[in-house]
């Protein structure tokens, strides 16, 4: 019996992507929170929120 390995591989690959391509609200929410956190972290790191009035003394 001859097996068509390419077709077999495509079948398993399609099954894998069907399972892993679904939109996950939890992953999306975690990604948004991480993006906000890192943005604020870098802004604080580069003193973006320091008031220029503090430099007048």
d(CA 5, CA 2): 9
d(CA 30, CA 38): 12
- Residue 37's pLDDT is 97
Give the pLDDT confidence of 1-57 residue by residue, as tens digits: 788 899 999 999 999 888 888 888 999 999 999 999 999 999 888 888 777 776 765
- Residue 56's pLDDT is 67
Residue 28: its H or E element: helix 25-45
Spatial CB neighbours of 49, under 8 Å, sequence gap ≥ 6: 43
- Residue 57's pLDDT is 58
Domain limits of the chain?
Answer: 25-56
Alpha carbon separation from 51 to 7, 40, 44, 45 (Å, rounded): 64, 16, 12, 14
């Amino acid at each position: 019996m001859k097996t068509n390995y390419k077709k077999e591989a495509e079948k398993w690959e399609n099954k894998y992507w069907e399972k892993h391509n679904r939109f996950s609200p939890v992953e999306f929410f975690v990604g948004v929170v991480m993006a906000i956190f890192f943005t604020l972290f870098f802004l604080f790191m580069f003193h973006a929120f320091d008031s220029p009035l503090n430099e007048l003394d």
